[in-house]
Chain A
């Protein structure tokens, strides 16, 4: 790949530094054509069901050092937030590996099944059970012999909805490795989904 192709931009700013911590990325952009404000710092998150980049909290300046200080301050704040979140987690944080799963078989549907997200698809600090266990709720990639890749999921621990690709999944979790907290959460999520479905049916 050529260097030009790998360039990432936000508006007219070329992103020269990007540090990803937890569920957020802090970006540092440069646009030399803007003499009054050539440096920009912003946050990026994908906290939506389609996983689309969302840029916010933008700050700009003509002073590189000022913006770099802002950038590092934001990274440090995000580090603290991730550490605090980690401390709040009450379930065991072991990592699931391929041996805990029935490997992904593309001839079978994985809809409504609990699967394990591949460790390497998650940031190193997120390779823990609470981030790996998800319930598949749909998407073209979840069907048997699917042509599509998209799978929509609900995280068993946080309840967050996300989009993954089928190849990001190791497989369905073997029942003997399913933790008790996950069984409990699965029941709650399924009950909530059924109630939602019923409500929709009644509205029609």
Chain B
């Protein structure tokens, strides 16, 4: 498979969370050898680069970014579930026989 290169950095790792992707780029001769970027799923417009000098730090940063996105999606899910539950409860109440 062909290597994907962005701004001279070879994309070595990729994580997808929801509609976001997080990648690690590696450039052996750049002052900062590693970078993590975000992009929209399936697109190649990378943004919010975090430049780092060590691969372990880059992997850690990648995980942090992915976890942040997971937390965001979880909150979004919960917010979505609350009105649904409330609606369901309201519906249930409606069906309860009047005493």
A interface vs B, CB < 8 Å? 1, 3, 6, 16-17, 19, 21, 65, 68-69, 71-72, 75-76, 79, 82-83, 123-125
Contacts and interface: CB of A to CB of B under 8 A. Distances in A.
Interface string B31-63: 001100000000000000000001110011011
B60 A65 contact: no
A124 B26 contact: yes
A65 B73 contact: yes
Contacts of A17: 14-16
Interface residues of B, number: 22
Of the listed residues B17, B54, B63, the one surrounded by the most CB atoms of chain A closer than 10 A to its CB is B63
Interface of chain B, main secondary structure: helix
Nearest to A74: B63
Contact of B55 (A6, A71, A125): A125
A199 B14 CA distance: 50
Contacts of A6: 1
Contacts of B67: 69, 72
B33 to A, nearest CB: 7
Contact of A124 (B55, B74, B77): B55
Given A71-B15, A125-B54, 16 more contacts: A17-B14, A17-B15, A19-B59, A65-B73, A68-B15, A68-B66, A69-B70, A72-B66, A72-B67, A72-B70, A75-B63, A79-B59, A82-B56, A123-B55, A124-B33, A125-B55
A55 B17 CA distance: 24
A1 B2 CA distance: 8
| 3 shortest interchain CB distances as A-B pairs | A124-B55, A72-B63, A6-B1
